[in-house]
Amino acid sequence: MTSWPRSPARIRAMAPSSFAPAEDALAKAVARGVRQYVIIGAGLDSFAVRRPEFARDVDVFEVDHPATQELKLERLREAGIDPATAAHYVAADLGVEALDAALARSPFHPGATAFFSWLGVTAYLTREANLQTLGAIASCGAPGSELVFTYIDQRDFDAPADEERRRVRELFAAVGEPWVSGFDPASLAEDLRSVGLTLVEDLGRDEQRERYCSGRDDGLSPSVADHIAHARVAET
């Protein structure tokens, strides 16, 4: 099984536009009563320390590779921030340990609904590891829990659509973090259904640009290859 990615290259790789869909969906979930937020592969995500007003009383759980997480904790301490006041930190290599098993070592409450984000990670894991993690989310998240995650179109592995996508893929391979797997948008709903999740929405690059980048003058644009998917733990 592929090891959990841990290099600074991955930490810097997530496009800022990936966070907006996740936090928009999280805000709506919190308004419905969700009080647990699990950030899978948190990297240097700043949510726990900047705390939007809507999330003041949300329990945040950051799950990441031990090496990456320790780097982040060092940076927080250097900035004068006590990590213990921000979030619950769960060190885990999800290429080896299942997400639900890792969360069982924390105060996470599997009987309560939760919101999960998983941004900029799935491309670095095998399809088997991705499906196992998705299944673990369905297993430990109470019915109605939600997930926003990014993925790369499998067609970009089989035949990159353009030179830009090819260059991006080669760039990550050159720094030791090659893309390993993707999902086919046409069969994503079926893949999710097979592990207990229901697809709510799948945004390609054009949809992301229209919804989150239209009218901006700062040059922000969606990641070249990422889709952003929103799913829900199916009712039993």
- CATH number of the domain at 153, please: 3.40.50.150
First to last CA, the chain: 30
Q: With CA atoms as reference, report the closest residue to 58 among 109, 8, 104, 14.
A: 109
Which is more confident, 50 or 15?
50
Say how many domains are in the chain: 1
- Examine residue 90 and state whether it is found in any structural domain, yes or no: yes
- Examine residue 61 and state whether it is found in any structural domain, yes or no: yes
- Examine residue 216 and state whether it is found in any structural domain, yes or no: yes
Q: Which residues constitute the domain of residue 227?
A: 8-233
pLDDT in tens, 215-232: 666 555 555 558 999 999
Phi-psi region of 33 (alpha: psi -120 to 50; beta: other; left: phi over 0): left
- Examine residue 2 and state whether it is found in any structural domain, yes or no: no
pLDDT in tens, 136-193: 999 999 999 999 999 998 887 776 666 777 777 777 777 777 888 999 999 999 999 9
- Examine residue 83 and state whether it is found in any structural domain, yes or no: yes
The model's pTM: 0.86
What single-letter DSSP state applies at residue 213?
I
- Examine residue 89 and state whether it is found in any structural domain, yes or no: yes
Partners of residue 199 on adjacent β-strands: 231
Is pLDDT above 50 for 14? no
- Are 94 and 69 within 8 A, CB to CB? no
The DSSP code sequence of 50-85 is H--GGGTT-EEEEEE-HHHHHHHHHHHHHTT--GGG
- Examine residue 1 and state whether it is found in any structural domain, yes or no: no
- Examine residue 201 and state whether it is found in any structural domain, yes or no: yes
